[in-house]
Structure 1
Amino acid sequence: MKRRKISPERKALYYFGNAMMVVGGLLFASVFVTGMMNFGNFRDFDRRARNEGMRALAGMGLLIVGGVVSSIGAKGAAGSGLVLDPEKARQDVEPWSRMTGGVVSDALDEAGIDLSGRAGADELPFDEKLRRLHALFKDGILTAEEYEREKKELLDSN
């Protein structure tokens, strides 16, 4: 299987986005922890409420922005929808699509299957043509005379 290299910049962006989400999650969760620790304590309530509200907003912001940055790192700019070039998107998403079964055209390319209509029987290697001709004779589709005639033509053409 053909393995693609993911650029170090994209890997760094992916991990940076994940780190942002972790920090955002911790900030957001800290609001609940401090709220429980100060339950029933109304001393300096206004200042604490503003502080916890800002931490909650910053945490949610970091979670969202980190998710976007991580997605761009994972799929590339084109794969995440920032660049609307289908070929660039296919290149960006290719390593991940391979993990989930692969892009159909990549799988066909790797298998050597050409669906463009250009590949015909004339493009088969000589030995494969000979094998197929013999298989037709063995299966009774060709008579002995037809087989010998076709085999002679094939040998003369090569």
Structure 2
Amino acid sequence: MRTSVLAAGLAAALLSSVAAVAQPAPPPRYDDRYDDRYDSRTIDADMDAAQRRFDAAQARFDRERDIFDRERQAYEDARARYEAERERLARAYDGPTWRGADGQVYCKRSDGTTGTIIGGVAGALLGRAIDGGRRSAVGTILGAGAGALAGRSIDKNSQPECR
């Protein structure tokens, strides 16, 4: 009896393993894992959102480029006006005379400051020497005043006349 029980247990074990070997396992389905996340409606919605973001970025870029182009053109126009005015002023000035914005001709003349200073110093020294030391302050002051007036007159009239 023992052998029959043993034979029946062995037969049952063999039958279950033969049944498992005879039935092949189904192949793994990888697409089942992704169907929930990537159906065609989700992909279309993602593409539409990406296209909208791209279109918005392109519109911002176009606006910024237009602003840049306008600013660059304004700068170039201002630069051209500056250069034209500079050339006009350079042509207007030709030495000791120039033509003002009102069309009048002006002369470039010395204001006589240098002549006044040099004449005053020379006059003071000369006045002191002529006074002879009696009243050195009076001679120095009178000599400085006379020398300053003479020096200014000479300095202002040393340039040719403007017409």
Same fold (TM over 0.5): no
Larger Rg: 2
TM-score normalised by the chain length of structure 2: 0.30
| Greater relative CO, 1 or 2 (CA 8 Å, sep 6+) | 1
